[in-house]
Protein backbone atom coordinates (compact mmCIF):
# COMPACT_ATOMS: atom_id res chain seq x y z
CA UNK A 1 0.00 0.00 0.00
CA UNK A 2 1.19 3.49 -0.80
CA UNK A 3 1.01 5.83 2.20
CA UNK A 4 0.12 9.49 1.92
CA UNK A 5 2.87 12.01 2.73
CA UNK A 6 0.39 13.98 4.86
CA UNK A 7 -0.09 10.98 7.16
CA UNK A 8 3.65 10.46 7.45
CA UNK A 9 4.09 14.15 8.28
CA UNK A 10 1.34 13.86 10.90
CA UNK A 11 3.19 10.92 12.49
CA UNK A 12 6.44 12.88 12.51
CA UNK A 13 4.63 15.67 14.35
CA UNK A 14 3.34 13.12 16.87
CA UNK A 15 6.88 11.82 17.29
CA UNK A 16 7.97 15.36 18.13
CA UNK A 17 5.12 15.69 20.61
CA UNK A 18 6.26 12.53 22.38
CA UNK A 19 9.80 13.83 22.60
CA UNK A 20 8.36 17.00 24.08
CA UNK A 21 6.47 14.98 26.70
CA UNK A 22 9.67 13.23 27.72
CA UNK A 23 11.39 16.60 28.06
CA UNK A 24 8.48 17.88 30.15
CA UNK A 25 8.85 14.88 32.45
CA UNK A 26 12.58 15.51 32.75
CA UNK A 27 11.77 19.12 33.66
CA UNK A 28 9.27 17.82 36.23
CA UNK A 29 6.30 19.64 34.70
CA UNK A 30 2.90 19.13 36.27
CA UNK A 31 0.88 15.98 35.79
CA UNK A 32 -1.89 18.04 34.19
CA UNK A 33 0.45 19.46 31.53
CA UNK A 34 1.88 16.05 30.70
CA UNK A 35 -1.51 14.34 30.50
CA UNK A 36 -2.79 17.17 28.28
CA UNK A 37 0.08 16.62 25.85
CA UNK A 38 -0.32 12.83 25.95
CA UNK A 39 -4.03 13.22 25.21
CA UNK A 40 -3.21 15.40 22.21
CA UNK A 41 -0.75 12.77 21.04
CA UNK A 42 -3.33 10.01 21.42
CA UNK A 43 -5.85 12.05 19.43
CA UNK A 44 -3.30 12.50 16.68
CA UNK A 45 -2.59 8.79 16.60
CA UNK A 46 -6.32 7.99 16.49
CA UNK A 47 -6.81 10.37 13.55
CA UNK A 48 -3.80 8.83 11.79
CA UNK A 49 -5.24 5.35 12.21
CA UNK A 50 -8.53 6.55 10.74
CA UNK A 51 -6.80 8.12 7.76
CA UNK A 52 -4.67 5.06 7.08
CA UNK A 53 -7.64 2.66 7.32
CA UNK A 54 -9.87 4.86 5.15
CA UNK A 55 -7.17 5.27 2.51
CA UNK A 56 -6.54 1.53 2.48
CA UNK A 57 -10.28 0.85 2.32
CA UNK A 58 -10.65 3.19 -0.65
CA UNK A 59 -7.78 1.51 -2.52
CA UNK A 60 -9.08 -1.99 -1.77
CA UNK A 61 -12.64 -1.10 -2.77
CA UNK A 62 -11.48 0.28 -6.12
CA UNK A 63 -9.49 -2.90 -6.73
CA UNK A 64 -12.39 -5.19 -5.79
CA UNK A 65 -14.85 -3.23 -7.94
CA UNK A 66 -12.48 -3.26 -10.92
CA UNK A 67 -12.18 -7.04 -10.56
CA UNK A 68 -15.94 -7.41 -10.25
CA UNK A 69 -15.62 -8.93 -6.78
CA UNK A 70 -17.67 -8.39 -3.63
CA UNK A 71 -16.57 -5.58 -1.33
CA UNK A 72 -18.19 -6.97 1.84
CA UNK A 73 -15.03 -8.58 3.23
CA UNK A 74 -12.96 -5.46 2.61
CA UNK A 75 -15.41 -3.28 4.53
CA UNK A 76 -15.61 -5.78 7.40
CA UNK A 77 -11.82 -5.91 7.64
CA UNK A 78 -11.62 -2.10 7.79
CA UNK A 79 -14.23 -1.96 10.55
CA UNK A 80 -12.37 -4.67 12.49
CA UNK A 81 -9.13 -2.69 12.22
CA UNK A 82 -10.81 0.40 13.61
CA UNK A 83 -12.42 -1.55 16.45
CA UNK A 84 -9.13 -3.24 17.29
CA UNK A 85 -7.33 0.10 17.39
CA UNK A 86 -9.52 1.26 20.31
d(CA 28, CA 16): 18
pLDDT digits (tens, 9 = 90+) for 12-23: 999 999 999 999
CB-CB contact of 41 with 21 (8 Å): yes
pLDDT digits (tens, 9 = 90+) for 42-52: 999 999 999 99
Question: Which pTM was predicted?
Answer: 0.80
**More confident site: 75 or 23:** 23
Work out the pLDDT band at 59, boundaries 50, 70, 90: confident
Q: Average pLDDT, whole number, for the chain? A: 92
Domain ranges in the chain? 5-84
Q: Fold for domain 5-84?
A: Methane Monooxygenase Hydroxylase; Chain G, domain 1 (1.20.58)
Amino acid sequence: MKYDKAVMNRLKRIEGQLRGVIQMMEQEKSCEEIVTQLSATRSGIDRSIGLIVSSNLEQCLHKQIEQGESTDDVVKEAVNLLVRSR
